[in-house]
Structure 1
Amino acid sequence: MSRKFQSAIAASVLSLVASVGAADAATTVKFWHSFNKTNGAAIDKIIANFEAANPDIDIEAEFIGNYNDIIAKLQAAIPARRAPDAVILEVTRYGLFANNGILTDLTPYFDADPLKDDLYDYAKEVGVIDGKNYIVPFNSSTPVLYFNKDIFTRAGLSEDTPLVTFDEILSAAKTINGKLGAEGISGIAAPGQFARWGLVMANDSELVDPMSGEILLDKPNTIEAYQWMASLVHAEKVASPDGVTDEDAGRDAFLAGKVGIQMNSTGGYGSTKKALGDNLAVRPMPCNKACSVPIGGAGIGIMASSPKDVQDAAYKFVSYASSPEANAIWFAATGYLPINKKSADLPVAKEALATKPGIDVAIESLPNAHGRARTTVVTWMRTTEYKMWQAMALGQRDAAETLKDFAEQTRSEETRLSN
């Protein structure tokens, strides 16, 4: 073999090694999220599309659990230096991390990104604390009222039954219980925390003032809303206590056709429609004393501890995830709100709006939708609210007494966190 030929082979080998090395040098972004089942398939599709267009970036996605699970795991991972690079964070609870320097200030990225002009104002607003962007919106939602048309018909209720006030909802739930209770069907699912927040707002109050941060847990209208919610379980007995101690149990019973009415996120539309088919009906949340609903969902934040090149790659994915193409896929599959003004014009979104009755209800609620407080104490308040709610709903404590105590505890915790 000639030296010239040997040199050519060596050069080819070196070239091959170099190309393999370049392929191996793809930037990996570790991404934690909270989506499984129908929603999980949608996020997987978005990630696959992004990676196909960006072969130099590998999104290492991991389903962690619900929003609470993500907060708990992130708090444990940070001191252990095992945090992800990008993470889904619920819109009221990321302040805990933003205010402690754990999240990257995304303002320089966002200001230079044409995406900012394509997002709805309501979506952009949820990612801002003190004028700085810490998360970019991904899955925005409001609560809506779902009901099972077949159960209504069997209970002698028309599909046009008024469900606007607390009294009207209770009346329908009592009718269902009275007619179908012997078959193991409940009138209504105990409201989950997102719905509870929405019902407080429907009663013209708030848990925490979104502008001033004032704790409003012990205000009369807040107390009145919780008294009504708790009465569904322990007094009127139209809601099963199973949904109090395990919110998923209430949702699953509704999906199984064992509950007539459920208030839950529009982000659950996809799985709910899949379970109930044509028996699903969707209405706006009630307007008991006010027509007002909370904006929920989450955005994607980037950890300040990640290397700069990883942060850059992560933001490229974050931006794509809110693009018209990705957002249209997400909206059509899940029922979460469009956050990009251009999404609804894409074929997949148009098809969903034309063929999936009720998917547009949350969009119609947007004029009444409002962002919520995201001060540092909100994470503690939301975690603690679960046990307070259980005590009220199970009849273990008076609602007014419980909420006054809860308000004082929250104010004390807020003071502690500010020191």
Structure 2
Amino acid sequence: MRPTPALIRRRDSSRPSRRDFLSLAAAAGVAAPLLGACAGGVTDDSGTGSGGDGESGGSEGGNLGQVDVSPPEQYAGRTNVVMWSAMGGVNGEALAALLEKFNQSQEDIYAEAQFQGPYHESAPKLTAALRAGAVPDIMMLADTFWGRFLLNDALEPLGGYFDDEFNRDNYIEALYDEGLVGDELYWLSFGRSTPLFYYNKDVFAQVGLPDRGPETWTELREWSAEITRLTVQGQPLKAHAFTGDDDWQFMAATWQFGGTLSEGLDVTIDSGGAVDAGAWHQSYIFDDGYGYLAQSAGTDFGTGVVATTITSTGGLRGIYEAAQFEVGTAFLPREVASGVPTGGMGFSLLKGATQERKDAAFEVLKFLGQPENAAEWTLATGYLPIVKASMEVPELARTLADDPNFNVAVEQLPEAKASDAIRSYLPNGTSLIIAGLQRIYSDGGEDVQGVFDEVAEQLRQGAEDIKPAYEEYFG
């Protein structure tokens, strides 16, 4: 039988100051300037905060007001904490339920999630809020967005807020460490995912393939010759669907072919494994006829029009609900190396908020990091477990034991690593790479080297703009 895990759902050279700052508008991908003093809540060029006693070990602050919040009558008189969220639908409901649970667990703080649209819409709203001088207390930021605000000195260092009972040891280290810059944490993981290889077990059995994912891209090509002998709706069944509107999976393939998109801000997409991966995919699509560029690879796989694809861990429940066949998942294929990127979101605090608000906001993050609450989030959304002890919570432990597909994502985590810097820190880095991918995957495919040469030049121009702030943090 097709497994049905409990509640797993689909989702989805100087620091800037008054004298020298990068526009936060550019960081969020919008074209409006930002006053440098609004970003970190500084009152002079040394970065001294304008308020708060700083006893928690975070930076002082205080010149940024709070966005509008109207607590229900039963919570009036508490310290208000506003979280700006990029989660709607089922995930948003799960988050709201956890915050209501927090509100009922104590009598001092009221926390509220305010949906601001998906990441590419919510980040520019934060830019506008910083300019206006009134911000949320907790900001949900994608893994490819928080670093852009970091470079503009807008994020609160979190290290001083942790204690002996709540610290790095509670978390899956690989996920926690993505928010570290040197020894300081600026972004705390929460809704995290990796790509998985999905395959149609019924198709694999029908053509006599092993009940597993291919170990390499070369093995996928060999298997594809058998898969495409089948037909669906009168047409040869395609073996693999590629995604052209997300560079996440392509970055994984670049690593698997031994390359990178960048080394730090040194762009490498026009050489080595990136070009090799692009050329391999292009040949697989146009020369072999085994693959194609899908509008929604996960949807196509779930409806049975393609035998395999690569998409997020968070897509598992949606695929289960759509599929009329037995679904299998596997580690991502290698070629010359392993390549498993992490994705998803986490939380940051805003540097310029008052110390009282920052202290209250961190209490919310501590609550979400309790094992029972972290397990509740994973079960409700399908995101990876991020708190080690959450996997011992009985309901999540049963889900991991009963559904090997979901457990694959946990087993693959030791191979995972954070995105290449050009994708994470350059404001339009992802959009430039995606535009290039669509050119090589579509309409017969343009010359891979030529396309990536153009993309690399654009990325290098952007990298020069952010290099001074990046080097302040990363050397």
Q: Give the TM-score taking structure 2 as reference length.
A: 0.74
Distance 1:44 1:372, change over 3 A: same
Distance across 2 between alignment mates of 1:206 and 1:177: 31
Q: Do 1:30 and 1:61's aligned partners in 2 also have CA atoms closer than 8 Å?
A: yes
> 1:281–1:36: structure 2 CA closer, same or farther, 3 Å change rule?
farther
- How many Å separate the matches in 2 of 1:67 and 1:146? 25
Match of 1:201 among 243, 247, 255: 255
Question: Which amino acid is 1:109 matched to?
Answer: Y
Judge conservation of contact 1:142–1:295 (CA < 8 Å) in 2. Answer: yes
Matching of residue 301 in structure 1 with residue 348 in structure 2: yes
> Are residues 1:281 and 2:328 paired?
yes
Question: In percent, how many aligned pairs have the same letter?
Answer: 26
Shift in Å, 1:166: 1.2
> Residue in 1 aligned with 2:372?
325
Which residue in the other structure is 1:121 paired with?
A: 173
Deviation for aligned residue 1:347: 0.6
Q: Secondary structure, in 3 states, of the residue corresponding to 2:110?
A: strand
> Which deviations, in whole Å up to 9, do the C-alpha atoms of 1:59-78 show, x marking residues without a partner?
32234444333334434443
Q: Say whether residues 1:270 and 2:317 are aligned partners.
A: yes
Aligned to 2:240: 188
Give 3-state SS (helix, strand or coil) of 2:361's partner. helix
Pick the aligned partner of 2:436 from 382, 388, 392: 388
Q: Structure 1 residues 23, 331: closer, same or farther in 2, change over 3 A?
A: closer
RMSD value over aligned CA atoms?
2.8
Who wins on radius of gyration, i.e. which is larger? 1
* Cα separation, 2, equivalents of 1:238 and 1:36: 36
Distance in 1 separating the partners of 2:212 and 2:163: 48
1:164 aligns with 2:215: yes
Map 1:313-352 to 2 at 5 A. 313-352=360-399
Q: Is the 8 A contact 1:294 1:369 kept in 2?
A: yes
The equivalent residue for 1:4 is none
Counterparts of 2:318 and 2:339, CA distance in 1: 25
List alignment gaps of at least 5 residues for structure 1.
Answer: 1-19, 244-248
- Which stretches of structure 1, 4 residues or more, deviate above 6 A after TM superposition? none
| Contact map agreement 1:110 1:133 (CA 8 A) in 2 | no
Residue type matched to 2:220 in 1? I
State whether structure 2 residue 444 is matched by structure 1 residue 401. no
* Structure 2 equivalent of residue 58 of structure 1: 110
Q: Which has the higher helix share?
A: 1
Alignment of 1:18-417 (within 5 A): 23-81=75-133, 83-110=135-162, 114-154=166-206, 156-160=207-211, 163-183=214-234, 186-191=238-243, 192-209=246-263, 212-243=264-295, 249-276=296-323, 279-374=326-421, 377-394=425-442, 395-417=444-466
- Higher mean C-alpha displacement, 370-379 vs 98-107: 370-379
CA contact (8 A) 1:38 1:271 kept: no
Query: What is the CA–CA distance in structure 1 between the aligned matches of 2:135 and 2:339, rounded to whole Å?
Result: 36
Q: 1:177-212 CA distances to partner (integer Å, 9 max, x unpaired)? A: 441244465422213422111111111222123xx4
The 3 A distance-change label for structure 1 pair 171 and 334 is: farther
* 1:166 partner amino acid: W
- Partner AA of 2:334 in structure 1: C
Structure 1 Cα separation of the partners of residues 167 and 409 of structure 2: 23
Confirm or deny: 8 A CA contact 1:377 1:410 kept in the other structure.
no
Q: Deviations over 1:47-105 (max 9, x none)?
A: 23222213443332234444333334434443345643222222233111011111112
User: Match of 1:254, as an amino acid?
Assistant: F
Which sections of structure 2, spanning at least 5 residues, go unmatched? 1-71, 469-475
Distance, in Å, in 2 between the alignment partners of 1:366 and 1:39 is 22
The question of whether the paired residues in 2 share the 8 Å contact of 1:38 and 1:270 is answered with no
**Alignment check: 8 A CA contact 2:292 2:441 kept:** no
Greater displacement, 69-78 / 25-34: 69-78
| Alpha-carbon distance in structure 1 between the residues aligned to 2:141 and 2:223 | 36
Provide the C-alpha distance between the structure 1 equivalents of 2:448 and 2:159, rounded to a whole number of angstroms: 42
Q: Which amino acid in the other structure matches residue 384 of structure 1?
A: L
Q: CA deviation at 1:361?
A: 0.8
CA 61–219 in structure 1, closer or farther in 2 if over 3 Å, else same: same
- Supply the distance in 1 between the matched residues of 2:144 and 2:231 (Cα, whole angstroms): 38
Per-residue deviation, residues 113-159 of structure 1 (Å, max 9, x unmatched):
623321122122111123321111112222110112234345x2435
CA-to-aligned-CA distance 1:192-235 (integer Å, 9 cap, x gap):
422111111111222123xx443221221111112223344444
Amino acid aligned to 2:250? R
Q: Is the 8 A contact 1:32 1:87 kept in 2?
A: yes
1:11 aligned residue: none
SS in 2 for 1:288: coil
Distance in 2 between residues matched to 1:215 and 1:251, nearest whole Å: 30
2:213–2:330 CA contact under 8 A, matched in 1: no
* CA–CA distance in structure 1, aligned partners of residues 336 and 404 of structure 2: 27
**SS at structure 2 position matched to 1:145:** strand
Amino acid of the structure 2 residue aligned with 1:405: E
8 Å contact from structure 1 (residues 162, 168) kept in 2: no
Alpha-carbon deviation of 1:22?
8.4
- Equivalent residue number for residue 41 of structure 2: none
User: Does the 8 A contact of 2:249 with 2:311 survive in 1?
Assistant: yes
